């Protein structure tokens, strides 16, 4: 029996092919479809064989079957071919959203799922092209990936929708034959309206960002001012009173993992003044999620990391205690840690101070959860990863976003120096505006003069602190610039394998440090 025809016998989902099986089947598929298959994508079920293939710079879904029944699910072009003298039906279909939805229904492992408290990494992909590289790195570890992860802000800047992000992750996971599951993170949600399109697309992980409701002045407010802030809290929404709060959190010790914590009434009231509106807002969005998604399971993360003042032990206890009392269930939380967490660069601060602070936050997370401690702006924080993994075990989530975009720029710098120079020039022009919504400290005068750099040295700009941050936060302006967008993506398509290897190697650094 011919190897491809033999595989068309399978009614149920078949195990992945061996390397030799991939090679042999790919040769046949190349002949009858005129596509170059991605070998890991080949899968058989319902008497059909599905794969992702490439023709020139474009990707297509290919389907081969004796019976055309499976074809009716996809939209594409049909033709007949012959294998070992036997007629087969062939479908060549575009990798669009409709076909991605069909593929997810056929292959349930391509649907996002909840992850629980397993250690995890969010692989933000601003371009929709990096997922195969992320998977190649994750595959070597026991870390669970979130492959679809973008915020409302990022989608606005890249011109993508939540559905686009999920579809791109679907095709990337299919390309690499990833069957071990992944999550989809609706990141930095601030309003009920933000939630709707992510929920409709099938996301499973929702990150509430109540940072706008943090009162950063509460920690230093005078007695009278503090009392005014406490009195003005939405106590009806919080379903308690200041007196009850003090009685519960200040009148007796709070038992945490490894030690008992004691807080004064003033510490409790300052925590409430700072984060009370945060708690109320989080509860409101959580209940909206429950109503919107019922009965679909989902996971919640709450983050207050992008704020001005560090989250103290008393403040973390207040947040966790109040969320739990109000019925919120969450899987991870990102406090504002000590030190600097700027975009695209390593941790800025004292490592021992971070260790001591992280130990306290972990004691809260294990006592009130357990839930994971999340590192937002987590990409490239290589110096603290061993601390996090060593202390937390599996109870951590690291969130990355722009680091894969930077590897795309590194790829372009080597492939098309002239295009890279144009990108840098536009990034420099846009940086004063684009930096406003990010925590960065790069200064334009301190970035190396690109015009003085040889073509061979251009990739080094991605290793310079100032150049790296400037290029990191101007991604939206670059991608949306009409004269740059086409050449940018064309270059990545031509250098796909180089780009995937760079992404894989960069994530290897992250994941190796998190072991």
- What's the token pair of residue 232? 């003005």
- Per the CB < 8 A criterion, the answer to whether 212 and 277 are in contact is no
Question: What DSSP string describes 433-500?
Answer: HHGGGS-----GGGS--GGGS-GGGGGGGGGSHHHHHHHHHTHHHHHH-HHHHHHHHHHHHHTHHHHH
Question: What DSSP string describes 387-436?
Answer: HHHHHHTT-EEEEE-THHHHHHHHHHHHH-HHHHHHHHHHHHHHHHHHGG
In the 8-state DSSP scheme, what is residue 336?
Answer: -
Q: Output phi, psi for 342, to 5 deg.
A: -95, 160
201/167 Cα distance (integer angstroms): 9
Among 416, 412, 378, 418, CA closest to 397: 378
State the catalytic residues. Answer: 187, 301
Give residue for tokens 């004292």.
350
Give residue for tokens 């080597």.
414
Give residue for tokens 């070998």.
39
**CA 55 to chain CA mean position, Å:** 29
**CA 214 to chain CA mean position, Å:** 24
- What's the token pair of residue 318? 């207040």
368 pairs with which residues across the strands? none
Peptide bond into 136 cis (omega under 30): no
Peptide bond into 370 cis (omega under 30): yes
Number of residues that this document lists for the chain? 515
Q: Is 31 exposed, middle or buried (0-12, 13-18, 19+ CB in 10 A)?
A: exposed
240/298 Cα distance (integer angstroms): 27
255 pairs with which residues across the strands? 260
In a 3-state reduction of DSSP, which class is residue 186? Answer: strand
Residues in contact with 102: Cβ distance below 8 Å, sequence separation at least 6, in sequence order: 73, 74
CB atoms near residue 432 (< 10 Å): 9
Give residue for tokens 């760079």.
502
In the 8-state DSSP scheme, what is residue 15?
Answer: P
107/179 Cα distance (integer angstroms): 9
513/383 Cα distance (integer angstroms): 8
């Amino acid at each position: 029996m011919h190897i491809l025809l033999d595989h068309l016998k399978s009614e149920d989902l078949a195990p992945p092919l061996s390397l030799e099986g991939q090679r042999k089947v790919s040769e046949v598929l190349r002949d009858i479809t005129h596509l170059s298959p991605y070998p890991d994508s080949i899968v058989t079920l319902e008497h059909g064989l599905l794969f992702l293939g490439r023709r020139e710079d474009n990707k297509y879904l290919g389907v081969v079957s004796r019976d055309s029944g499976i074809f009716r699910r996809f939209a594409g072009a049909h033709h007949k071919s012959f294998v070992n003298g036997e007629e087969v039906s062939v479908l060549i279909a575009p990798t669009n959203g409709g076909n991605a939805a069909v593929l997810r229904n056929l292959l349930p492992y391509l649907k996002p799922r909840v992850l629980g408290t397993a250690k995890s990494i969010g692989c933000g992909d601003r371009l929709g092209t990096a997922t195969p590289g992320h998977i190649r790195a994750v595959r070597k570890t026991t870390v669970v990936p979130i492959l679809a992860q973008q915020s409302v802000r990022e989608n606005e800047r890249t011109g993508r929708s939540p559905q686009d992000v999920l579809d791109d992750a679907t095709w990337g996971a299919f390309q690499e034959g990833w069957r071990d599951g992944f999550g989809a993170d609706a990141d930095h949600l601030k309003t009920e309206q933000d939630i709707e399109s992510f929920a409709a697309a099938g996301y499973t992980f929702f990150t509430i960002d109540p940072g706008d409701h943090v009162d950063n002045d509460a920690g230093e407010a005078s007695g009278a001012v503090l009392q005014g802030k406490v009195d003005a809290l939405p106590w009806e929404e919080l379903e308690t009173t200041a007196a009850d709060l003090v009685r519960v959190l200040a009148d007796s010790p709070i038992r945490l993992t490894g030690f008992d914590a004691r807080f004064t009434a003033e510490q409790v009231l300052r925590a409430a003044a700072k984060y009370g509106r945060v708690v109320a807002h989080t509860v409101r969005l959580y209940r909206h999620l429950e109503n919107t998604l019922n009965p679909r399971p989902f996971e919640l993360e709450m983050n207050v990391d992008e704020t001005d003042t560090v989250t103290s032990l008393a403040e973390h206890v207040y947040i966790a205690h109040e969320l739990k009392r109000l019925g919120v269930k969450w899987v991870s939380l990102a406090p504002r840690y000590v030190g600097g967490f700027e975009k695209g660069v390593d941790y800025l601060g004292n490592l021992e101070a971070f260790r001591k602070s992280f130990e306290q936050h972990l004691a809260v997370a294990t006592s009130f959860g357990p839930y994971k401690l999340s590192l937002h702006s987590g990409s490239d924080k290589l110096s603290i990863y061993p601390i996090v993994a060593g202390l937390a075990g599996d109870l951590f989530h690291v969130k990355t976003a722009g680091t894969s975009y930077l590897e795309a720029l590194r790829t372009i710098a080597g492939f098309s120096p002239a295009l890279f120079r144009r990108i840098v020039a536009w990034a420099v022009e846009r940086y004063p505006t684009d930096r406003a919504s990010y925590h960065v400290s790069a200064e334009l005068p301190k970035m190396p003069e690109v015009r003085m750099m040889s073509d061979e040295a251009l990739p080094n700009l991605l290793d310079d602190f100032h150049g790296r941050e400037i290029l990191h936060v101007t991604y939206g302006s670059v991608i949306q610039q009409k004269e740059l967008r086409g050449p940018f993506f064309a270059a990545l398509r031509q250098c796909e394998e180089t780009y995937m290897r760079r992404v894989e190697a960069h994530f290897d650094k992250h994941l190796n440090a998190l072991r």
